[in-house]
Each structure stands twice: as C-alpha cells, then as structure tokens.
C-alpha cells in the first residue's frame, strides 16, 4: 500500500495494491500496522456507508469536543471529490483544504484527522461511500461549514447549479469563529503519537 502526503501533511492518501484477474480482485482495505506507522494510534469504533447520486454534496461536517472524529474514507463504487478543511486555529494550514478524488476502481482512501471539516461531492452517476470513525456519532456535538463559503474557495469540480445539498447542509454557517480545535491540541503529535 502506498501512503502519500497531501498539501496538508496531516491528511494522507492511502492507495492499496489491487490484485486482479479474470475472477475479480483482492486488496487490503485496512491495515492497523500501516496506520500506526504513518499516523499513530487510532482505534476505529464505527463504520458508515452512504449511497448518493451525481451532484449530491454531503458536508462540510465535523464533531466538536469531546466527541471529535477522525475518519478513514473511501469509495466502494463510483467517484467522489473528497475535501478536508483545516479548522485547527493556529495551524499553518488553517482555513486551507485538501481535495482528493476517491475512485472505486483505484480503491484509494483519505485520512481525515480530528480538527478538520469533511465533505464530498459525487462525480459519477452514483457512488457508494464508506468510512471508519474513531468516535461514535453524537448529534449534540455536530458542527459544520457552508460548502460554498467564498472564504474557503473550494473548487468542487461541478457547476454550482448541478450540486444538491440537504436543507441542513445548505444552512450551515460560514468559516469563522471556530474555536474548538486549537492547533496545539489537535496536531498529529498531540493526538495520535502520545
């Protein structure tokens, strides 16, 4: 499995070796030893899956302390543009984002650490999206950012008229005033390598 740093070093892309022949394919979708080598200690407790059609955008979501979440995300079928926004106040990358195309054929995955808002938009006709979380979903800790906030300037690779969001996601606030994630507490060394 290849592990690649992104423009924000705490966000990593994992791409497995897919072995295939006329019978089908095989690959390792998760290896604890690789996570520990490249990230540190992560204990996943919940797996989630969603199915969406082209243009559906889910996000940008995060959970506030004490229920912060890290995610290892991938596409089972189809293609999405996956986005992680650094919301760690004081981070050198604060307010910047990483965009990574996740593809069900490539089987690549993106590591989204605590202190990042996360979302994706479906680029194919439909996509099945799957992810591991290291904390349980807690509705009382939900937070989010408006997907098209000009302060973030995210290029979702689709025309805005082709993007569909839920009423809830369409009403999220813009990027300002998030104080929940000080970089001193939410950098990789502090969270995963203790």
Catalytic residue among 97, 118, 131, 192: 131
CB 144 within 8 A of CB 117: yes
DSSP track, 144-159: E--TT-TTT----SS-
Tokens of 25: 């394919």
CA distance 57 to 125: 13
Catalytic residue among 61, 97, 186, 192: 61
Residue 192 bears catalytic tag: no
Residue 131 bears catalytic tag: yes
Helix extents (H) in the chain:
32-38, 167-170, 188-192
CA distance 179 to 34: 32
Q: Active-site residues: which are they?
A: 61, 131
């Amino acid at each position: 499995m290849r592990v690649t740093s992104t423009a924000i070093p705490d966000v990593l892309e994992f791409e497995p070796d897919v072995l295939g022949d006329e019978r089908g394919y095989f690959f390792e979708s998760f290896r604890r030893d690789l996570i520990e080598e490249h990230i540190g200690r992560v204990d996943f407790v919940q797996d989630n899956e969603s199915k969406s059609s082209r243009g559906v955008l889910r996000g940008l979501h995060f959970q506030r302390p004490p229920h912060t979440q890290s995610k290892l995300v991938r596409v089972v079928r189809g293609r999405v543009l996956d986005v992680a926004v650094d919301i760690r106040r004081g981070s050198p990358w604060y307010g910047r984002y990483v965009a990574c195309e996740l593809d069900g054929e490539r089987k690549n995955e993106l590591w989204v650490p605590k202190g990042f808002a996360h979302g994706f938009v479906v680029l194919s006709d439909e996509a099945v999206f799957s992810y591991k979380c290291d904390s349980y979903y807690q509705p009382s800790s939900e937070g989010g950012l408006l997907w098209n906030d000009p302060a973030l300037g995210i290029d979702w690779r689709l025309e805005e008229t082709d993007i569909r969001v839920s009423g809830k996601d369409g009403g999220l606030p813009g990027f300002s005033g998030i104080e929940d994630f000080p970089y001193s507490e939410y950098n990789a060394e502090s969270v995963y390598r203790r």
